[in-house]
Amino acid sequence: MNDSEKLPENSLDSSLEEKENLEKKCQEYLDGWRRAKADYANLKRETEEREKEMVSYAQIRLFYDFLRIYNHFKRALSYMKKEDIEKEWVSGMSQIEKQFFDFFREHHIEAIPSEGTKFDPAFHEAVGKEKVDGVLSGDIIREVEGGYQYKGKTFLPSKVIVAE
């Protein structure tokens, strides 16, 4: 190659630089593509896990709505007088209540113990406080609305009155 055929040095340098940049970009795109494929595979896996969670969440939502109605039923029963206990309709209501308990047991729902226990925000929500002689501060005097756990996790805390 004679002098007239040689490429100018700076042209060669810039071509080499461009080549390097392009190689870098290619590697970047390849890495990005690999990552995207990996993310997709992970997403598939996570989607399956999430579907299971969604089913569980949907169940909890259903229980939540159902238990609000059960709490009304409990409230109704609390108005029963002593003299009513022998009546047939009361006996029937008790049987219905038993069906509720069977339902809870089958679906791993447990009532949260409240009255007489120590207030714990992990299980209880305080809706009022009262001064009661002989009761320690922080103890639960009364349950206003029942709370429940599903598979050991609180999803509806008990609403309680706490001793001051």
Residues that bind other proteins (CB under 8 A): 32, 36, 39-40, 42-43, 46, 72, 75-76, 78-79, 119, 121-122, 124-129, 137-138, 144, 153, 155, 157, 159, 162, 164
Q: Minimum distance from CB of 104 to other proteins (Å)?
A: 20
Q: Which residue, 91 or 137, is less far from other proteins as judged by CB? A: 137
Q: Given the structure tokens 């809870």, which residue do they identify? A: 104
Neighbour count for residue 143 (Cβ, 10 Å): 21
Q: Which residue, 104 or 124, is less far from other proteins as judged by CB? A: 124
Residue 151 zone, left/alpha/beta (φ > 0; ψ -120 to 50; rest): left
Q: Minimum distance from CB of 158 to other proteins (Å)?
A: 10
Q: Minimum distance from CB of 10 to other proteins (Å)?
A: 29
Q: Minimum distance from CB of 2 to other proteins (Å)?
A: 44
Q: Minimum distance from CB of 101 to other proteins (Å)?
A: 21
Q: Which residue, 7 or 29, is less far from other proteins as judged by CB? A: 29
Q: CA 64, CA 156: separation in Å to the nearest integer?
A: 7
Q: Which residue, 6 or 87, is less far from other proteins as judged by CB? A: 87
76 burial level (CB within 10 Å; 0-12, 13-18, 19+): exposed
Our CA dihedral for 25, 29, 31, 34, rounded to 10 degrees, sits at -170
The DSSP call for residue 139 is: B
Q: Which residue, 40 or 103, is less far from other proteins as judged by CB? A: 40
Q: What is the DSSP string of 47-88?
A: HHHHHHHHHHHHHHHHHHHHHHHHHHHHHHHTT--GGGTTSH
